[in-house]
Amino acid sequence: MDQTTQTHLANIEAEDKTLQNAAYYYLMEATAVPVAWAYEAWDELVAGLTHKDNHVRAISSQLLCQLVKSDPEKRILTDFEKLLTVTKDERFVTARHCLQSLWKVGVVGPAQQQIVVDGLDGRYRECIAEKNSTLIRFDIIQGLGNLYDAAQDETIKERALALIEMESDPKYRKKYATVWKSR
């Protein structure tokens, strides 16, 4: 891993939000393609999922979702539950950033796709009593749509449509269905 990447990884935990944001943008761009240094950063990012600073939790979750394309050992299969826990974060913005990135995990392979679809299905079902449940559900349906677009697996679409049908409020059922109108 080069020095610039090491510096940015360290700056994820910086108190200076300018440094922290610069680290986020640099690392998200760097991980848009597979990287050789994924496992050098992996454990630190997993630890960041429970950091006291919600920005660190958000950045760590989004970066882990990006790094899955650089995970031939399939560590994500063990660590996915930790990501799913971040989708219940006390800070809704942190939870939402993670939730909106989870679909990227499912693009890598069949096992990863299965844990994402099952995980999102579970979150959809359990979030009904949570504050912002309609936004959570919308993000889940959108994430399944993004995964479907990437994987073109009809079982993803079937699961998403079944979840939408579970929605008791016609207004939200219609809103969630709009995600699938053009697919």
Alpha helices (H) in 31-109, listed in sequence order: 38-48, 54-67, 76-86, 92-101, 103-106
pLDDT tens profile 158-168: 999 999 999 99
- The secondary structure of 14-41 as a DSSP string is -SSHHHHHHHHHHHHHHTTS--TTHHHH
pLDDT tens profile 90-138: 999 999 999 999 999 999 999 999 999 999 999 999 999 999 999 999 9
Q: What is the pLDDT at residue 123?
A: 97
d(CA 23, CA 4): 10
Q: What SS3 state is found at 159?
A: helix
pTM of the model: 0.94
Contact 124, 163 (CB under 8 A): yes
Residue position matching structure tokens 């207004």? 171
